[in-house]
Every structure is written in C-alpha cells, then in structure tokens.
C-alpha cells in the first residue's frame, strides 16, 4: 500500500509552493507554516497567502523577531487568527528556549504552541523523514473507505483505530513523509467527500478498497453530527473624518477575532443593535447615521448578521472610542474578512473611501 501511494504521489502530486523538495529534506519552519495555514482552511486560500507570508518572514528567526501586529497583518484574510498567534509563539519558543534549532523529537515538537499530534507528525515525517503518522479529515476518509468502516470520521471511538492504521503505514515504508503526503493528496483530489463522487477509477488503492468493492463510497464515512449555529448580531458604524480617515478600534486579545481591528462595533446575541445605541457608543447623534449595508458572515459555530451604518464628521468631532487611521494604514492591519469588507470595500464593489 505504501509503495503504491508513493508511486502515485510522485506522478500526480499538485505543484504547491510548500512542496519545494522531497519529504524528509524540507525546512521544518516552512512545513510548520504551511500546515498551520492549512488547518481548517482550503488549499486555494492558502495558495494566495503562503508565498507572501514567507517572503515577509523567511526564517524562524525573522518570525520570532516580528511584532504580533505585523504577523496578524500578514495573516489577514486567513481567519482563525489564533493560529497566527500560536505560530508566532512557536517561533519565539524555538529561538528562546531551544537554542534556535527546530526540534526533531516529535514530543518536543508537540511542546510548541498550537502544535498537536497531527502537525507534529507532519513536521517529523515531512521535514525529518521520521516514521510518524498523521490523521486529518482527508486521511480519515481514505482509511475508513479502504477498510469499510461505516462510522463518522470525527467519532471519538474510531480515533485510536485511525491513528494505529496511519502508524502502520508510516512504519512499513522507507519514505513516511511521502506516504503521509500521498494520503492527504489522495483524499483531497481523488477520494473526495460527498456530494462529489470519488474518482475511484484513478485511485491507486481501488483494488483493495472495501467501499469501492461494495459501492459504499458515498456512505463511508457517515456524516458528522453538527450542532445548530447560534446567531450573533453586529451593529457597525463606519465614521469618516475630513474625507481621509476612518475611526477604528482593536478588539480584546481573547475571544472571537481577538486582537484584530474593526470599525466601532457592538455585538448582541439577543437581536439587532439599534441606531441609537450605535450613535451613543461613538458619540454621534443617531439621526446622522445612514444605513450602508447588511450581510451575513458564517463561521464554524455562528451565523453573524452585520448591519452597517455610515457617518461623515468634521475635524472638531471627538469620538468616544477608537483611533483615526487612513485607509492605507488600515489595509495593513489584522482585519477579519467581514471587517475588511466593511472598511475597505463598498457595497457596490468599489473602494468605500477614496
């Protein structure tokens, strides 16, 4: 199985920017960056960010020496900003506590902030060629289909079995990093999740796949059970001063979108934010607020409803909260996708402020 996977990967692997050399010889820092970016994020989104990020922070030392604000700014648009903070903290830990040398021992790799069993296994196998397993959504789907296990991939009871199967694969091959990447690639490009039909005709494992044999590709794995999303309402007021500056504020470090910048915003789980409350929050008469836009933003656990208002003020206006910044400055800050849309794009698709 390992030999078939390695041969298939060699002939079919996508040319991704973090695959600049064969597994087992790569810079562990670049593996850490790419795997951190790929957590809960599609490859297409990472493609637009990876090169720019590593140009800005080409080495572990560069990242460790950067200000957190610069790291969050470079991460802007990727979402799940805790990953960026953990990546920054991991770089600092290697530089300050590990002598600037990236650890090879999987147990030591797992000490790094934000690094769990999967990421440690990816770094150990891909960068150092160690026989360490990885299990993510793609790998789980492949293993469950090959072995015909009709369970959900996130079922806690099946996790030990999945890690043991992945461990067997890593231990019986001379190139565990290649086989690990092949399993991820197979799940991403061939052994596709529903509603797509897996491309079984080109799969190197089809001859021994129980799901393919029994015609249960779309039944394995079983669907994950997801709880209902809660709705959060966000009232936002975009204030422009002298046609050049916008009023922005930084969120608290902890919690949702922690530490990111935004237009003055009030949140509620109870219902929409009133125009009067928003006006009072920034010290502006509610009658001067004009409705600008409304839209929904989906996160893993929330449906966030944004209602955006707009106001123009003069130099004499004294805001009760926030700081004045130009659009050029704001564009380099760490912003959530929703706030980037609010502050930097108009509802007509052009620039909101010129």
The residue to which tokens 């779309």 are assigned? 218
The pair of three-digit structure tokens given for residue 18, joined into one six-digit string: 């973090």
243 vs 50: CA distance, rounded Å: 34
CA 192 vs CA 154, 184, 218: distances in Å: 16, 11, 9
Q: Three-state SS across 141-208?
A: HHHHHHHCCCCECCCHHHHHHHHHHHHHHHHCCCCHHHHHHHHHHHHHHCCCCCCCCCCHHHCCCHHH
C-alpha dist (Å) from residue 337 to 103, 166, 181, 262, 298: 34, 36, 30, 10, 11
Give the bridge partners for 326, in sequence order. 245
Q: Nearest-CA neighbor of 260 among 85, 88, 52, 34?
A: 85
Please tell me the number of Cα atoms within 13 Å of 236 on its side-chain side: 27
- A 10 A CB-CB count for 33 gives 23
Q: Is 201 exposed, middle or buried (0-12, 13-18, 19+ CB in 10 A)?
A: exposed
Cβ atoms within 10 Å of 299's Cβ, excluding its own: 16
State the catalytic residues: 35
Helix, strand, coil percentages for the chain (3-state, nearest 5): 45, 15, 40
DSSP alpha helix (H) spans, the chain = 2-12, 28-38, 43-47, 50-56, 60-64, 68-75, 82-97, 106-109, 117-128, 137-147, 159-171, 176-189, 210-214, 275-282, 327-330, 337-344
């Amino acid at each position: 199985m390992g030999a078939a996977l390695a041969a298939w990967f060699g002939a079919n692997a996508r040319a991704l920017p973090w695959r600049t050399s064969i597994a087992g010889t790569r810079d562990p820092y670049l593996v850490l960056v790419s795997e951190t970016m790929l957590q809960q994020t599609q490859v297409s989104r990472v493609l637009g960010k990876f090169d720019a990020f590593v140009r800005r922070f080409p080495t572990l030392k560069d990242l460790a020496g950067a200000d957190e604000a610069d790291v969050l700014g470079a991460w802007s648009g990727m979402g799940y900003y805790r990953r960026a903070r953990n990546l920054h903290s991991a770089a600092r830990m290697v530089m300050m506590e590990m002598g600037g040398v990236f650890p090879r021992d999987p147990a030591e790799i797992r000490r790094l902030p934000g690094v769990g069993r999967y990421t440690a296994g990816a770094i150990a196998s891909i960068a150092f060629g160690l026989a360490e397993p990885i299990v993510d959504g793609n790998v789980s789907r492949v293993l469950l289909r090959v072995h015909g296990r009709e369970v959900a991939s996130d079922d806690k009871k099946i996790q030990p079995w999945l890690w043991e199967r992945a461990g067997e694969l890593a231990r019986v091959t001379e190139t565990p990093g290649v086989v690990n990447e092949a399993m991820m690639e197979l799940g991403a490009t061939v052994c596709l999740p529903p509603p797509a039909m897996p491309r079984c005709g080109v799969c190197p494992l089809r001859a021994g796949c129980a799901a393919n044999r029994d015609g249960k590709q779309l039944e394995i794995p079983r669907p994950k059970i997801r709880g209902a999303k809660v709705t959060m309402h966000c009232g936002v007021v975009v204030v422009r001063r002298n046609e050049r500056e916008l009023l922005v504020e930084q969120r608290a470090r902890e919690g949702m979108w922690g530490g990111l910048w935004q237009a003055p915003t009030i949140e509620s789980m109870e219902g929409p934010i009133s125009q009067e409350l928003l006006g009072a929050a920034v010290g502006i008469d509610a009658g001067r607020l004009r409705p600008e836009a409304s839209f929904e933003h989906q996160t893993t656990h929330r449906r966030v409803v944004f209602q955006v208002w707009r106001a123009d003020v003069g130099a004499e206006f004294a805001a009760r909260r926030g700081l004045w910044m130009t659009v050029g400055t704001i564009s380099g800050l760490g912003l959530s996708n929703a706030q980037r849309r609010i502050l930097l794009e108009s509802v007509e698709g052009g620039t909101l402020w010129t």
